[in-house]
Amino acid sequence: MDLRSDTILITGGTSGIGLEMARQLLALGNTVIVTGRDNAKLEATKKELPDIHTYQSDVSDPQSIVKLQQKVTADFPQLNILINNAGIMRAIDFNDTDYDAVCSEVTVDLNGPIRMVQQFLPQLKKQPESAIVNVSSGLAFITFPKAPIYSAAKVGLHAYTKSLRLQLKPTNIKVFELAPPKTSAPMFNRKESNSEGGNNLPTMEVPQVVASMIRGIQKNKLEILPGLSKVLKLFGRFTL
């Protein structure tokens, strides 16, 4: 895919990898739409990137996804690329019985992309060339006990993406997976990412991760493993 003059929707596009995606994809001449839960962050993103289009939406809420699809497809009938980037990570101790929302990462990191794809699939099928990009993680390939639900959700997203790719092979939709390693994004610099050896992992700068994603998509490389993620996948074959 050329990634120029496309219309691209990015979930979780107000910070970290999502915001950098918006920045670099705008620079290539694309129409870029980002979503987020926080209106203040959406406004800040719009101020930083005036050409961006913003919509408040929550991938953990099925009705919010339905409303988003209705609004976005009405405003941008040429939408042809969906990037499922929104995600959360938490440190969880299964011995702690006080967690009220122990499955929230599954709701956001796995169920969210699945619901987004189902909602936007008819729109993507209308276009001459379309793509879905699911952002998983290098932690989809190894065990990371400090953030077990996040890891499990990303394992699920990896498997889902492979199945989705096979089912959509006869269509005009290419299905990509970006599996970032530990990065300089805020998510990977909290306590849960820097415990039990996490702080010893090399960090890849977010602009490098996004540049790798863009190069991979332009070359139609369906599984994009920047930096250490290639090693994590290989290592995971012998340890999981």
- Options 55, 99, 150, 160, the catalytic residue: 150
Contact 177, 223 (CB under 8 A): yes
Q: Is 150 a catalytic residue?
A: yes
**DSSP state at residue 186:** G
Q: What are phi and psi of 123, to 5 degrees?
A: -65, -45
d(CA 101, CA 88): 12
Token pair, residue 52, equals 């961006």
One-letter identity of residue 123: Q
Asked if 47 contacts 4 with a C-beta cutoff of 8 angstroms, the reply is no
CA–CA dist 26, 52 (Å, integer): 8
- 69 CB neighbour count, 10 Å cutoff: 21
Q: Which residues contact 205 (CB under 8 A, 6 or more apart)?
A: 183, 184
Given phi > 0 = left and psi -120 to 50 = alpha, else beta, which region is 197?
A: left
- CA dihedral angle for residue 9, residue 28, residue 124, residue 132, rounded to 10 degrees: -70
Residue written as token pair 């987020």: 36
Tokens representing 237 are 């074959």
Whole-number Å distance between alpha carbons of 223 and 221 = 6
Active site residues: 150
